[in-house]
Structure 1
Amino acid sequence: MRVTQSMLSNNMLNNLSRNYQNLGKYMNQLSTGKQINRPSDDPVIAMKGMNYRSQVTHVEQYSRNLGEVHNWLDNTDSALDKVQMTLERLRELAVQGANGTYEEGQRGNMASEVRQMADHIVDIANTKVNNKFIFNGTATTGRDGDPPYEVDADGNLLHPLNTERVMIEVSDGTKINVNTPSDSVFNADLFKDLVDFAKTLESGDDDEAIAAFIDKIDTHIDNNVNARADLGARQNRIELIENRILDQEIAAKDMMSKNEDADIEEVIMNLTQQEVVHRAALSAGARIIQPTLLDFLR
């Protein structure tokens, strides 16, 4: 086959073009730290990268959901702890009030404290976290933004409560109930009993009538303790799920890194080798292009 000067020049230029492309590829890998910069560079790596990135996004969303779960449970536990202290103080007042040594004026002072405690429990029941009422089931906005718990002078709740469970997904196919049902602690009997307790103290009834509220308050204390025990069990489960999600996130990011990230040492070595090849190609090309007929006629 006849080889012309033009063919040699074209081959040389094509080789130089490929060298430039390789240099550009390694320079891009070095500057971005990634093996590819567009899907066409390596469709297999690109497809795997999309799958790994989707998995990472999925797991990160569950991590954010777990943060929301912690927010619900921690604030609920804090609120129920305050309820516990308030109920224990109310029980102390019931024991004191049932003691026949207290005069009518002293019992009146106790009644005032009981009413203040009852109002305090209403405030706790209307606890808001991130602008959501946490003790009103799925109706977290209340009644058009108004508190869900309102009590009349006789201790009756003025509005029906939402007792549905608030569920948050924390992993594939796993949802956690994050709220404490409104009727488990803040039920209608609680507020009615507290108002009746205050009225009994004010009325000057006998000690037995006052002592009857000790058992009633004990019942509400038990309800609160049971609610906190259930809450603690959910918190323990969340910790186990959180550890598993963290492991999944680390594994997914590691796989994504191995798939996409360039080996910098290898890239530098390839770039150095390509520079040597490129300089050699330029040197050889210069020898091919320079000679012309005039060079031989000199």
Structure 2
Amino acid sequence: MRVTQSMLTNNMLRNLSSSYNSLGKYMDQLSTGKKINRPSDDPVVAMKGMDYRTQVNQLEQYERNMGEVHNWLDNTDSALDKTQKALVRLRELAVQGANGTYEEGQRGNIASEVKQLREHLTEIANTKVNNKYIFSGTKTTGADGEKPFKVEGGYEDSGEFSYSFDGNNNDVKIEVSSGSVITVNTKADQVFNEDFFKDLTEFAQKLEDPDVEDDEISAFITKIDTHIDNNVNARADLGARQNRVELIENRVQEQTVAAKAMMSENEDADIEEVIMNLTSQEAVHRAALSAGARIIQPTLLDFLR
């Protein structure tokens, strides 16, 4: 086969174009820090990268969910802690009120504090965090701005006792890892049920009754103890869930680190290797340009000399 000048020129241009493509590939890797910049560069790496990225995004979502879980549990624990303190104070008042040396006026003063504590506990039951009522089950927003717990009356000057709960006792569940779902709420009937507020109301009524016997007031010590036990049990259950969340959170964080490491190993370019390849390709490209210049340089006058 006869090799002509045009064949040499075309081959040289084709090889130079290939050299430019190699330079462009290494420049892209160096500027982006990635082995590939389009799926066609390496379909296997691209497919693995999609899987790793999906896994990392899922784990990061679990970490965000964990923040919501901590928000629920921490605020619930704080509310139950305040409830515990109020109940302990109510028990102290019951012990004082059962003392036969107290007069009617003094018991009336105790009744005033009991009323205030009932109002305080009603506000705790209506605790709202991030525009959500945390003790009303899955019905976390009240209708037309109404609070889920309403406790009214029951005293001599305020009509009959009434209790209403515009919520439910459903579990609020949040997924915190693959296959792991945590119940984040404490049900209303565990602590803030109708008997809870009814006993407080009747306690105040008895303290205001001038004919009340000491035994009738001391009976409320046992009732308040029952509510204290219910609150302690609710906090114990809450604490167990908090411990489990911490264990899951540590596991998710470790999985996130591992997944990101795998994604990095699959996608990230070895910068040292890329720089060496780029430098080598630049040398090859310069040599090709120099050789090509020698091939294209001759003219008819060069052959006539």
Task: Give the Cα–Cα distance (whole angstroms) in 1 for the partners of residues 258 and 167 of structure 2.
Answer: 44
3-state SS of 2:303 partner: helix
Where in structure 2 are the equivalents of 1:1-298 lying within 5 Å?
Answer: 1-154=1-154, 155-204=161-210, 205-298=212-305
Aligned length: 298
Separation of aligned partners in 2, 1:58 and 1:294: 72
Contact 1:201–1:210 (CA<8 Å) still a contact in 2?
yes
Structure 1 unaligned segments of length 5 or more: list them: none
- Report the TM-score, using the length of structure 1 for normalisation: 0.98
Find the residue that maps to 1:158 and give its secondary structure: strand
Q: Secondary structure at the match of 1:44?
A: helix
Using the aligned pairs only, state the percent identity: 73
Offset from partner CA, 1:187-210 (integer Å, 9 cap, x none): 100100001000100112111111
1:156, 1:188 within 8 Å by CA — same for their partners in 2? no
Q: Distance in 2 between matches of 1:40 and 1:161?
A: 56
1:155-176 C-alpha deviation (Å, 9 max, x unpaired): 4312454111111111112211
The one-letter amino acid paired with 1:125 is A
SS at 1:70's partner residue? Answer: helix
Moved over 3 A (4+): none
CA contact (8 A) 1:137 1:182 kept: yes
1:142 positional shift = 2.3
Q: Is the 1:56–1:252 Cα contact (8 Å) retained in structure 2? A: yes
Backbone CA RMSD of aligned residues: 1.0
- SS of the equivalent of 1:175 reads strand
Of 80-89 and 96-105, deviating more is 96-105
* Runs (5+) with no aligned partner, structure 2: 155-160
Q: Is the 8 A contact 1:156 1:191 kept in 2?
A: no
Counterpart code for 2:124: I
User: If the length of structure 2 is used for normalisation, what is the TM-score?
Assistant: 0.96
Matches of 1:191 and 1:14 in 2, distance apart? 89
Q: Tell me the distance in 2 between the aligned counterparts of 1:260 and 1:146.
A: 53
The alignment partner of 1:151 has SS state of strand
Q: Which moved more, 1:168-177 or 1:120-129?
A: 168-177
Deviation of the 1:96 alpha carbon = 0.4
Q: Which amino acid aligns with 1:28?
A: D
Matching residue's letter, 2:194: A
Structure 1 CA distance, aligned partners of 2:144 and 2:236? 32
**Inter-partner Cα distance in structure 1 for 2:229 and 2:298:** 103
Q: Give the aligned partner of residue 158 of structure 2.
A: none
Amino acid at match of 2:113: E
Name the amino acid aligned to 1:257: S
Distance in structure 2 (CA, Å) of the matches to 1:172 and 1:179: 20
| Pairwise CA distance, 1:37 | 1.0
What CA distance in whole angstroms lies between the structure 1 residues aligned with 2:164 and 2:235? 26
For residues 135 and 165 of structure 2, the distance between their equivalents in structure 1, rounded to whole angstroms, comes to: 14
